[in-house]
Structure 1
């Protein structure tokens, strides 16, 4: 058995990620191997946006009623999982309108509290693949009504014969007026048919032992595991029965949820649930920290603010509505209440160090604190501070809607919904690490745990328990895990990143005060971060790359940074963030900075309109309600839309303009596009505001074909909708003569739509081979708002310069397990965990070049293994495009690099393509890449395909298969030099002229024909009639002039 040592701090979910120059500091991936998450379904099928025919028909039917429909897609199961509107609700206040017929609505009892949800599912069963009858055997897991806006949020959990189906939920939100706001479904359409064997071969104890082995545990404590049966959907039509094991790793205190196949014992899913980072009186700091200073410095200043004094705060609860029994129930004399159990855990065994701090007979917690000595000398004061902040946060969030029914943390829920028995376990001065904090949040009813660490950047160390921003950050992880997507948890990359951003936002916004400048610079964790990694400017940067600020010269982060980190050298950046991981745009804390920066813009905009008290509270309320309205595992733009929708529910859209302007300022404008939440690749930022004129779809018009036509597709249609309350005029313009738009302008009444067709015209047939781009812009002529869509046209050459059908071996060089021959259909495992097998034949013929034609590639770390073509002479060729057939199954680029290169000398290679996420081809697919910039007119062009194992833990998959390699090209144009005419213009000048249609020629001069010292003429040419001309003044002696075509 391979033993995996648990990382004490998981950098993928840690609160902080700091300097890698201090090996003992744990804000980096640890130097010992961490325990990675597992989900064998992630490469079950190739990701695609294509829906099945039935689902596509259902969506189109719904779109015929709702032009601005927003549809979330499950790319693994090829079906919708979420529907909402860009502006408005799915149904009207009569629970129907045109979306639900009166007959369908009347078929559901008027007294049913979920009438509109069930009627919608019955009217549109084709959207999700099921109707309301699927709810009959489901269990309502959450059914809450928000007190401040009357929004009813309901979550159903699908079951089969009483056994729950993993993450199979229907999530519905209905306004107090009966309008269906949004609806999400992850139900399996036919669970009885999808179910595999229904009786487990393994016992619960065997599953627990297998789960422990997966985590490297050798001594499983039975009480440490909670196990039950659960169904795991592998795709839309297959489920496996599993044991659902919750297990805490003894060596580091991280909690994991593991789904163990009840037939085979294989761990199919493994997820870490730990994310990193009567009256009584408490002697505590009531501001940010012992050295409070928020906002921080506005420039790179190293000064530390002065220390503050603690206050003796007498309080039963911040809100007796939130804590009816108070923070410290009558009879309790230690830091243990209904909401929080605070204590130290110095030996990191996840068992409370006792005794906890004890109060006096007068219920006073007042302990000495000496910041000049080691924090463990003041542990009682530290625990009291932790108890205070965690209770304070409980009450603050309760009033925002994180109550019992929403899944909050309480031992006794007072009969107000939800599942009790889950008061927060708050471990102060936890001994399992330094310079971090973490929060473990299992489902409602299971105990969450917060672990706060000491920080060793200073002498003496600083205590994270005393920094309120750290404590509130961690608590907010619990909020987002319980609220987002109905409480199924957070695991997708973008959602995990937003989890960090939400935590930063709440920590700073909740501690804000009326006198704070909302546009200032806010340093998260300035107190504990002092001198960490040698950084003295902790009250400028805090623990992030940039301070949080609406000043783009202080914090330049925009939506595009989640795909590509581009740093402006003129803007100061935290000097401790230097490692490759810390600079990665997809690192979760870096993603969180982008999300929090957008939320900080929202807060500043609302404060500017409503003032501090109302604006700050409104921002917190909309963000909280946005979490509730989000689908499971939302991406950035779905979470943005949920906040805007929350304002529509709460305030009839009063703050629509402020919200759109704030998000647009950080690149999340109306025209921005975003991939599935599992990746950040190809996120496209846009800075336009939302407008009454809606244009769908958001996608570009992408077409291709051979020179001279035909192109496919030749047209694309866009639907324009007036989502406002008054008529508007619109216009559509484009930037290329090879496009036609019809109609190009018009007037839309409220709610009216029009279909605009964008088509290639005859001019496209005359284009030379190459790549062409254009822009299509839809504008509201009343507001001036513009929504742009890209146009991409690839015109391919029609002549073959080279063609290698690979029926016979061309003799290319190769290393590793690259080989030529017949593929045998081996490797992979049907797409579940290790992709698909090799093909059984070439795309044409029977042979291919491939990696290990008898199975999977080896996963040993090492150098790149290459397949390299011989030298290809492309002299006299232009507009070169390489095409080949690909069948590739490879792990994602964090583990395996699968790449394609081109070289013009056989030594230096330029990368043309690289894998991102796991690639899982189950059929041959034609790839084409324009290599003209490198290869045109070159005598020695080499093509290279490569793979390289770069990280331990890579999956063994079937790898590359290549067939039918060809280079398409045009003949290089024959350049005929135009006549250069010279006329003397006395006394000492000359007039040079040449035809104006000789594009691309440059005038050069030289005083000696025997040299190659030709220089571009410095005189600027002008156009006169049909000629270009220039007047020159030759130097003494003879001067030669020529026209050249570079």
Structure 2
């Protein structure tokens, strides 16, 4: 669901330094859908490091700094509390520029460079603090996607903090040899295959030249810009290319050569009066009934909601006003022009009854159906877009914060950009058979001065894909606010537009959307649950997410936990859970009204003072600064800080948490409060329950998941571990070779005390580490069932089976099964377990119907996570036969299961075998002739189609637009890593697709990063390296053993 724009591939080093200090950026990576040619690491000079030491000494203990590895300049400078300087005289912009001038040695700037900085934003918070943002300029042209510097100046003139991505002093290399039209034509050819497209300029808007749309969904925008690097500055064009309404790109093009320097998606994938639903139709709370709401002026909208000029304060006849413009968009593939059908009322009384024709017709796609509810749907979306405008305006997203308005009332040079609300988007064109306009919502945010748009889809059940009800998304307030919040975060976070291009920042973009939606519903007393999307999904327990946020168990350590692996919606749930706990703890401490106010103020205030593409920890620190700014003179200051650190610590983002940057998928969690008296110490010893011996190298997690997550500790040779933990009650999950995984519930840690516990693990008799073997299986890679982790999966067929010889003959008392899957509806539902003492004569030990079940609309992680099944009578066995009787999807022919762990209460002598030595790396290399940006390797690539159709190795088209590598058979166990890297300096985009021995797709690593890396899915035998962008690209592929 939703929107995001671009990224500068920065790595935000560890997010804090103890007792003050400069931090190195530990790594860098482009986020999903992003390409950035700036891949070389640039080190700070000796003079810069010396200047950094001087600043840190002067600013005081606890001040922390991180470097931007692309430029060798400071990325963030944050004080522990308070400010970096004392009060100063002058305007905020003068103070900010003066502070940069004083520290120009730190930034590697010449005196003239500071003079040439353009003020791009002077945004005031209600505390009196001002956010001053500068852009570096070269020959009078501003840098874009880099070259930004933000200084936060408090009301008393003191400099609070710095965030930026600036380049050191350098000269502009060459001039603008291509025209803007030629730059757009290059982009259209590379990204849409439109080599015959001829760009035609039709006007100017918001500093961009606007070009006619041609055969695309909407017009494109181009402006002259500079692209800064660690070596200098390049003349460039910024191109906003809109191929489809939900497929658009922000591209930087070299104005000398036409090469693409940078690319990121613009889309995230969710008296006047009107009758509306404040939550959704039928909700049992007060938000479930139609109410009449005024569209008249508010303090945030002085001309009301339906004055189309924003000037006269006169009510207009339709859903068009200064803040929003809502109308039908039944074709999801055409420019969102406002000549489409829409409500009309000469008296501005938009009071229509909602009859739910879409639902009552059973999702009948042929009008009248949904069209009969256009008026109430448009009115509802229009009201919420205006309501959210006013809500966010009050929180600081004003004209100078680049909000969405036609008329900015002279407060900012922008304007002309109300949000376009696309009602029933794709209703006519988005149904069967492709369903491109169903069961979703999206937001596309363009720069200030160009209208964004948000599409609300119709929802309908699709068997074994998304089995929800027939609903109109225009009536779900949580979905509407989630999508609008993408507009807030993509314009308000940092000095850069759409600066949420890394995995962690993109996840926060999704998480903020959920948080603001729930905050509104709870703040207004409209909803008692913490569920997003209940109406559109028909699921009152968890909506469209894995859990209700009141039951979400995830922590910062769990990035990548979901069955889909690292994914911004799933990992965004972690961020929402942290913020929701913070809000609810404040409500418990201060009451609903004040607690919600503190939470929404500090969470929103943090955004403009954060760096671009922040990590969770960058934003945590920005919230801490926001608390200090807004409440430092409040009697509740210390209590608010205590609540803040307690809740972040309980979710693994505590004081000593670390990350290598926004694209770090394996951050180091910490559960400690900076005030040591609030912590206890958790001391544990992990032992073999059968022998009493210590278990070394066991992974210890404060949480419920073990696959793809970051452990808090790993046990030493004596089986012990110790960690400071803020007071609370936690689940502790321990996973180890030979023992599988076990979760110990309700481990309580008390402040100031040591909690010492013994954690016994029973040997897993079906573990390969203990000597268990797969005797036979109806499908390959059944080893995934006996590797002690649900990170790997076995794909079988209905009624397929695997026979496993146990490590020891024993009386079986229980089995632990995981249905974790790479395809939701292929997850195991029913299974049978048979036992045998000789491998010939079998008897049933367990017959489990609906062992794993799901609640519509789809299976999610908690549905398929480990479950323990106890045998009614202990049964002696040397062999077990595991039948995959049925998957969750009724149309699915395959069944996936991740683990079969077998336990006995009587076995006494089982110890894991010594681990085998890691396999040597497997390497391959080749050259790919051309890229295919108009397709991908799941459907449109030449080599991919050849390989999947003929299943021959190597394919006849090897090297055309892809290259197939055959891996050693052992590399399909789900425990290996692979990376591919292009060897030429030219722009390129390589993706990876994984296939089984039968040439069926098992997964992919296909972001828009130039190069790729990831885990090889279970059952993989072949890897296809696909060239999405580039030509004549040589590559090197390396697969390694991750054990």
TM-score bracket for the superposition, by shorter chain length: 0.5 to 0.7
8 A contact 1:857–1:957 mirrored in 2 = no
What does the per-residue CA deviation read over 1:179-209, in whole Å, with 9 as the maximum and x for residues that have no partner? 21111232222232xx221131x22222111
Measure the CA separation in 2 of the matches of 1:331 and 1:13: 35
Structure 2 vs 1, CA of residues 196 and 827 (structure 1 numbering), >3 Å: closer, same or farther?
farther
- For 1:809-864, what per-residue CA distance to the aligned partner results, in whole angstroms no more than 9, with x for missing partners? xxx99998679xxxxxx999xxxxxxxxxxxxxxxxxxxxxxxxxxx999734243
Q: Is the 8 A contact 1:12 1:588 kept in 2?
A: no
- Pairing 1:82–2:82 present: no
Which residue does 1:671 correspond to in 2? Answer: 656
Aligned to 2:544: 543
TM-superposed deviation, 1:590: 1.4
Q: Name the SS of the counterpart of 2:403 in structure 1.
A: coil
- Structure 2 partner of 1:860: 962
Note the C-alpha offset of 1:273.
Answer: 0.9
Question: In structure 2, which of residues 603, 616, 627 is the aligned counterpart of residue 647 of structure 1?
Answer: 627
Aligned pairs (5 A) from 1:234-273: 235-250=229-244, 252-273=245-266
Q: Show the counterpart of 1:452.
A: 456
Corresponding position of 2:423 = 428
Q: For the structure 1 residues 690 and 631, does the alpha-carbon distance in structure 2 shift closer, same or farther, using more than 3 Å as the test?
A: same
Instruction: Report what 1:598 is aligned to.
Output: 578
Conserved 8 A contact 1:225-1:246: yes
Name which of 62, 84, 91 aligns with 1:68.
62
Whole-Å separation in 2 of the counterparts to 1:468 and 1:675: 36
Partner of 2:534: 526
* CA distance 1:694–1:444, shift in 2 (3 Å): farther
Q: Is the 8 A contact 1:70 1:83 kept in 2?
A: yes
Aligned pair partner of 2:192 in 193, 216, 239: 216
Cα separation, partners in 2 of 1:289 and 1:131, compared to 1, 3 Å: farther
The whole-number CA distance in structure 2 between the counterparts of 1:814 and 1:461 is: 51
Contact kept in structure 2, 1:70 and 1:85, CA below 8 Å: yes
Tell me the equivalent position of 2:372.
377
- Determine the structure 1 residue equivalent to 2:1028: 953
Higher deviation after alignment, 137-146 or 217-226: 217-226
| Partners of 2:378 and 2:474 within 8 A in 1 | yes
Q: Distance in 1 between matches of 2:92 and 2:3?
A: 44
Tell me if 1:283 matches 2:380. Answer: no
Aligned to 1:657: 642
Q: Shift in Å at residue 397 of structure 1?
A: 0.7
CA–CA distance in structure 2, aligned partners of residues 366 and 887 of structure 1: 59
> C-alpha displacement at 1:486, in angstroms?
1.9
SS in 1 for 2:674: coil
The structure-2 alpha-carbon separation of the partners of 1:358 and 1:543, relative to structure 1 and needing over 3 Å to count, comes to closer
Q: Residue by residue, what CA displacement relative to the aligned partner does 1:410-460 show, whole Å, maximum 9, x if unpaired?
A: 000011225111111111111151111111111111111111111012797
For residue 405 of structure 1, give the secondary structure of its aligned residue in structure 2.
helix
Match of 2:520 in 1: 510
Residues 524 and 231 of structure 1, relative CA distance in 2, 3 Å threshold = same
Mapped to 1, the partners of 2:626 and 2:448 lie a distance apart of 24
Residue of structure 2 equivalent to 1:927: none
- Could you tell me how far 1:784 is from its partner in structure 2? 5.0
The 5 A counterparts of 1:350-499 are 350-352=335-337, 354=339, 356-371=341-356, 372-373=360-361, 374-431=369-426, 432=430, 433-457=437-461, 461-489=470-498, 490-499=500-509
Greater length-normalized contact order (CA 8 Å, ≥ 6 residues apart): 2
User: 1:121 deviation in Å?
Assistant: 2.4
Matched, 1:41 2:37: yes
1:100-120 deviation per Cα after TM superposition (whole angstroms, max 9, x unaligned):
xxxxxxxxxx43433442343
Q: Is the 8 A contact 1:121 1:132 kept in 2?
A: no
Look up the match of 2:331.
347
Equivalent position of 1:560 in the other structure: 557
In 2, are the aligned partners of 1:472 and 1:506 still within 8 Å (CA)? yes
Alignment RMSD (CA, Å):
4.3
Tell me the residue number matched to 1:161: 139
Q: Find the aligned partners of 2:121 and 2:192 in 1 and give their Cα distance.
A: 35
After TM superposition, the score normalised by the length of structure 1 is 0.59
Q: Aligned equivalents of 1:408 and 1:957: distance in 2? A: 45
- CA offset digits 1:135-186 (Å, max 9, x no partner): 322221111222x211111111111112211231111111111221111232
Q: SS at 2:133's partner residue?
A: strand
Deviates more, 1:588-597 or 1:483-492: 483-492
Aligned counterparts, 1:811-850, within 5 A: none
How big is the shift at 1:636? 0.5
Q: Which runs of 5+ in 1 are unaligned?
A: 1-8, 15-34, 96-109, 295-305, 531-537, 566-581, 696-734, 738-781, 787-811, 820-825, 829-855, 869-885, 898-913, 922-945, 963-1046
| Corresponding residue for residue 124 of structure 1 | 103
Which residue is 1:206 aligned to?
182
Q: What residue in structure 2 maps to residue 332 of structure 1?
A: 316
Q: Displacement of 1:41 after TM fit?
A: 1.8
How far 1:125 moved relative to its partner?
Answer: 2.5
Q: How does 1:549-948 map to 2 (within 5 A)?
A: 549=550, 554-562=551-559, 564-565=560-561, 583-652=563-632, 653-654=637-638, 655-677=640-662, 679-691=663-675, 860-864=962-966, 895=992, 948=1023
Q: Deviations over 1:1005-1039 (max 9, x none)?
A: xxxxxxxxxxxxxxxxxxxxxxxxxxxxxxxxxxx
306-315 vs 117-126, which moves further: 306-315
CA contact (8 A) 2:127 2:630 kept: yes
1:142 paired with 2:121, answer yes
Given that 2:273 and 2:292 are in contact with CA atoms closer than 8 Å, whether structure 1 keeps it comes out as yes
Partner of 1:605, secondary structure, is: helix
Higher gyration radius (CA): 1
The one-character-per-residue Cα deviations of 1:556-601 (angstroms, maximum 9, x if unpaired) are: 1100011x41xxxxxxxxxxxxxxxx62442011121011100001
